[in-house]
Chain A
Amino acid sequence: MAFNASIPSGVLRVGLDFGSHTTVIKVARDDVGLEQPATLRIPSRIARVRGKRGPEVVIGAEAIARRHEAKLVHPLLADDPRSLVDFGKEIRSLLDPHGENELWGVVTSAHGGTTEGLQHLRAFAHQVFDRTRILSPALLMATGFGSRDAARSSIWIDIGATSVRAAPVYGGSPRPGETMVVPGGGNAVTARLKEILSRRLPDLCLSDTTLDEMKEDLAHVSPASMGACLRIAFGGDYETVDIAPFLRRAAEPLAGEVLSALHRVLEMSPSDLVEDLCAHIVLAGGGARLVGLADRLSEEARRESFPTASIVVPEDPTALAARGALHWAHLLDEEEWETPVFSYVA
């Protein structure tokens, strides 16, 4: 049963958030709860490996697992546009392996903020979907959160891999110039961790992917405190190193980046809205899972004369934008979709 009767049956509606780190996809045939949306999380990585029948393209977790065989590439950041094309093709074949469905997808990405980023995003969307629509991540997060109060007046902070993006939402998408971007984010934490480890344990060489995984599992900021060990295995032997202080030092500046983005949004917002906006500050993106971050930000924001500040992290902060995109995929009328004329040609 389709929520929007104007869309023909046989169309699979999809919400897709093309992140620097992970591409999150939500799929459901209806939007009235008859079918629980399926969620796919595909690390945004692609690799070209040697298969049994010749060269093969692998994406996501498989590409990461086989990174000893070939170089890992981020499709949005690659110099070679073939990576973006191939990544799109693979996503399409995952969503519709037998070519039976028409795919209509609402797409978003933090990379869509620039003209070039938007071009790439549109090219990717046209590769995957038969009809598409690109919408602002903040609007989609507000929709995906499912709270009317939060959707009406709130601040959305997306802690992504390459930056921290904050935007106020009051009555629709953030207007041009209202989204504040602070460079940094998760990749900067990984870079700091790499630098600290190379200084303290100079014999140890770790790949960025491994450092990323280590950070995701164990990084934290005060007031949280937890033990964290790195076990270096050689064949059957191993050595264990306490890395908790290194992880804390690498992650701490992220709190400052988020606060900086928040301050800039509040400075730009109408003064009569500040109190309402502060009452619904939502953290999303992979960085929102950093242990201790929400408590730390609440403390700091209240200390800095925002006594009503309430910072929440949704249950699944990484899927918020994709969930909102799926809602919109069911809400849009047929004439509101873009119809791709050309697929992307490298």
Chain B
Amino acid sequence: MSDESRTIAILRRFDVFLQARLRLLRAIGGPGESVFIAAIEELHRILDERLPASRESAPEATRIPRMGFRQKRGFDAVAPSKPEETFVVDYPREMLCLARAGELQRERLPARTEDILPGGA
């Protein structure tokens, strides 16, 4: 499986996350924005709790330090030889940043993501 299709696969796996992303998108700028910002923050906590990395399935992920809402760049503990070559994005939190910046635009949601959401987008 290519890198691209694997990425799409992992994104699809998190239906609940995608749904929340769309709900957040609908609420941006509206009265419900803060509610959905809070909802996606809550979602992130749920993802952390329900998807604990196991050393068998994702040995490196367990070592990702939680850095608040910042991206952790480099992996000193994981790749000491070339730590500068890996850039880590905490994706749910990245969605929050996009929402705050007003950059989470409907046209940036891929058609296939919209298709899997109840009732379409």
The number of A-B residue pairs with CB atoms under 8 Å apart is 137
Q: Are A234 and B47 in contact (CB under 8 A)?
A: yes
Q: Are B97 and A234 in contact (CB under 8 A)?
A: no
CA distance A319 to B8 in the complex (A): 41
Q: Are A71 and B102 in contact (CB under 8 A)?
A: yes
Contact of A210 among B60, B71, B92 (CB under 8 A): B71
Contact of A71 among B69, B70, B101 (CB under 8 A): B101
Look across to chain B and name the residue whose beta carbon is closest to the beta carbon of A198: B108
Q: Are A238 and B69 in contact (CB under 8 A)?
A: no
Cβ of B64 within 8 Å of any chain A Cβ, yes or no, is yes
Look across to chain B and name the residue whose beta carbon is closest to the beta carbon of A230: B87
The smallest beta-carbon distance between A252 and chain B, in angstroms, is 19
CA distance A214 to B85 in the complex (A): 10
Cβ of A305 within 8 Å of any chain B Cβ, yes or no, is no
The smallest beta-carbon distance between B96 and chain A, in angstroms, is 4
Q: Are B58 and A237 in contact (CB under 8 A)?
A: yes
The smallest beta-carbon distance between B27 and chain A, in angstroms, is 16
Tell me the residues in window 20-50 of chain B with beta carbons closer than 8 Å to chain A beta carbons.
44, 47-48, 50
Q: Are A207 and B103 in contact (CB under 8 A)?
A: yes
CA distance A202 to B90 in the complex (A): 17
CA distance A227 to B86 in the complex (A): 9
Given A213-B87, A214-B87, A218-B84 in contact, is the A239-B10 Cβ separation under 8 Å?
yes
Cβ of A206 within 8 Å of any chain B Cβ, yes or no, is yes
Contact of A69 among B4, B44, B71, B100 (CB under 8 A): B100
Tell me the residues in window 93-121 of chain B with beta carbons closer than 8 Å to chain A beta carbons.
93-98, 100-104, 108-110, 112-113
Given A218-B87, A229-B85 in contact, is the A234-B102 Cβ separation under 8 Å?
no
Cβ of A203 within 8 Å of any chain B Cβ, yes or no, is yes
CA distance A35 to B51 in the complex (A): 52
Determine the chain A residues whose CB is within 8 A of the CB of B103 once the complex forms: 205, 207-208
Cβ of A241 within 8 Å of any chain B Cβ, yes or no, is yes
Determine the chain A residues whose CB is within 8 A of the CB of B74 once the complex forms: 217
Q: Are A235 and B47 in contact (CB under 8 A)?
A: yes
Per the CB 8 Å criterion, the residue count for chain B at the interface is 55
Mark A42-86 against chain B: 1 for CB-CB distance below 8 A, else 0: 000000000000000000000001111111100000000000000
CA distance A72 to B69 in the complex (A): 14
Given A203-B110, A205-B104, A237-B61 in contact, is the A232-B7 Cβ separation under 8 Å?
yes
CA distance A235 to B44 in the complex (A): 7
Cβ of A231 within 8 Å of any chain B Cβ, yes or no, is yes
Cβ of B80 within 8 Å of any chain A Cβ, yes or no, is no
Cβ of A9 within 8 Å of any chain B Cβ, yes or no, is no
Scoring A202, A214, A236, A241 by chain B CB atoms within 10 A of each residue's CB, the highest score goes to: A236
Q: Are A207 and B62 in contact (CB under 8 A)?
A: no
Determine the chain B residues whose CB is within 8 A of the CB of A224 once the complex forms: none
The smallest beta-carbon distance between A182 and chain B, in angstroms, is 27
Given A65-B69, A66-B69, A71-B100 in contact, is the A203-B85 Cβ separation under 8 Å?
no
Contact of B89 among A72, A231, A235, A236 (CB under 8 A): A231
CA distance A240 to B113 in the complex (A): 20
Q: Are B94 and A207 in contact (CB under 8 A)?
A: yes
Given A232-B7, A232-B10, A239-B6 in contact, is the A205-B108 Cβ separation under 8 Å?
yes
Contact of A205 among B44, B62, B94, B112 (CB under 8 A): B94
Contact of A233 among B3, B68, B89, B101 (CB under 8 A): B89
The smallest beta-carbon distance between B115 and chain A, in angstroms, is 12
Determine the chain A residues whose CB is within 8 A of the CB of B8 once the complex forms: 201, 203
Contact of B7 among A71, A201, A217, A235 (CB under 8 A): A201
Contact of A229 among B53, B62, B87, B104 (CB under 8 A): B87
Q: Are B51 and A235 in contact (CB under 8 A)?
A: yes
8 pairs, A vs B, C-beta closer than 8 Å: A71-B101, A218-B84, A228-B87, A230-B89, A231-B86, A234-B17, A237-B51, A242-B3
Closest 3 CB pairs of A and B: A236-B53, A235-B47, A235-B51
Chain A interface residues (CB < 8 Å from chain B): 65-72, 198, 200-210, 213-214, 217-218, 226-243
